[in-house]
Amino acid sequence: MDRSVHKSWIDRSKMATVRFMELIDRTHDRLPAPTPDHGRSAIAFWSVAAVYALAMLGGTLPVPLYAFWAAGLGFGPFTTTLIFAVYAVGVVVSLLLFAGVSDRSGRCPLALAALAVVALSTVTFLMAGHVVVLLAARFLSGLATGVVTATATAWLGELAGPGNARRATITATAVNLGGLGLGPLAAGLLAQFAPAPAHLVFWLYLGALVPAFIAVALAPETVADRQPPRVAVRRPAVPAESGGRREFATAAAGVFAAFAVNALFASLVPSFLHDALRVTGQAVVGGVVSLLFLAALTAQLSAPRRWLESRWFAAGALVAGVGLLVAGLWLRSLAVFVAGTVLAGAGSGLTFRRGLGVTAELADPRRRADLNATYFLAAYAGNVVPALAIGGLDQAFDANIATSILAAALTGVIFVPAVRNRRHPA
């Protein structure tokens, strides 16, 4: 494509996005302002949490369905890993362009815009008759996820009120990981036991988005001094003080490693179960993928405080989990693979919660979504690397050898933040 034409297309896209958010902002301004009582604030807090969970659920709905699309559209493992990577790229692009906009223009307008992109992505999945359409659907899903993670996390912190930062952090991590875990489980069950496996789940999801739009539109706006939206490539925000920057860098490196392990696992499950173990039931595929995120959720909600503050516990769980994942591949053992899944999930959950707590503590209240966006940028950058690496290594090596090479590299990455880590309350 000619460079001038490409630049013109980007400029028109930015202008359309700004106008769309201005329209949503004006619509929200016409709604009656909610009464600032405790009951209304509690309802708004849990409504935003529910919408956050629903948006994250949508990000993992397609995972058990790749076998249907691969058979129907005729693509192989490399294309599957590319689809995983495109989703993560969409998140990264979103975090660089849009995630900090809610600090200027308000939480509600950006959340409504993100839900509109979620709906567009869902409709695109329903029309996925070609690999390019499928890639577009995943990219749109990633764009929406990036906005929701940064905006909703900041919104929950503000709706929780002063003195409730820990409650907001625990809720944000719970709905993030819980939504990610429920997505493949729901899609897998529907794919195996309901008609139209690649369509029904998306129709149901579209229906669930309707009350989500209403909940967000009625939620109180927490950004007092709102300005017109402006879309530009943002420089990742970091804390102002040098000590805070070091603490945040450690948290970002940890979540990069944790999400890299998640991506390695999620990209392996469908092919491992189908090719190595001859498991064809989509409910099993969805259940095994869900196990990673549900183990992460359980660990970060129930772990003793000393585990959350420990220098080595989360890193050790991640490394042991990766080791068992690789062993399960070589031994063709579902039991060993599942044990690795539980350990890797637990380490990921502990790392994620602790890092989000550090981010919430260090964030400037006026730029809360901006620092959240940088944290999630590190996380989803970790998602991109394994998906692309596995796809590339598979072209030169046996799948087990390729996975072992990547696992060895990830083990080194996991220990970097553990060595640098200072004790910090979760």
Q: What is the band of 135 on the pLDDT scale with cuts at 50, 70, 90?
A: very high
Q: What is the band of 387 on the pLDDT scale with cuts at 50, 70, 90?
A: low
Higher pLDDT, 423 or 384: 384
pLDDT at residue 268 greater than cutoff 80: no
In this prediction, residue 121 carries a pLDDT of: 96
pLDDT at residue 323 greater than cutoff 60: yes
- Give a yes or no: residue 38 inside a domain: no
- Give a yes or no: residue 31 inside a domain: no
Higher pLDDT, 348 or 264: 348
Q: What is the band of 214 on the pLDDT scale with cuts at 50, 70, 90?
A: very high
- Give a yes or no: residue 216 inside a domain: yes
With beta carbons less than 8 A apart as the criterion, state whether 200 and 194 touch.
yes
pLDDT at residue 395 greater than cutoff 70: no
Residue range 339-365: mean pLDDT, rounded? 86
In this prediction, residue 231 carries a pLDDT of: 65
Residue range 179-196: mean pLDDT, rounded? 89
Please state, rounded to an integer, the average pLDDT across all residues of the chain: 80
Q: Domain of 136: which CATH number?
A: 1.20.1250.20
- Give a yes or no: residue 331 inside a domain: yes
In this prediction, residue 232 carries a pLDDT of: 65
Higher pLDDT, 352 or 267: 352
If you average pLDDT over each of 117-121, 151-155, 286-290, 319-323, which comes out highest? 117-121
Q: What is the pTM of this model?
A: 0.77
- Give a yes or no: residue 8 inside a domain: no
pLDDT at residue 31 greater than cutoff 80: no
Residue 280's domain comprises 16-25+43-220+241-420
- Give a yes or no: residue 10 inside a domain: no
How many distinct structural domains can be found in the chain?
Answer: 1
- Give a yes or no: residue 232 inside a domain: no
In this prediction, residue 6 carries a pLDDT of: 42
- Give a yes or no: residue 245 inside a domain: yes
Residue range 364-392: mean pLDDT, rounded? 78
If you average pLDDT over each of 107-121, 230-244, 338-352, which comes out highest? 107-121
pLDDT at residue 239 greater than cutoff 60: yes
pLDDT at residue 422 greater than cutoff 70: no
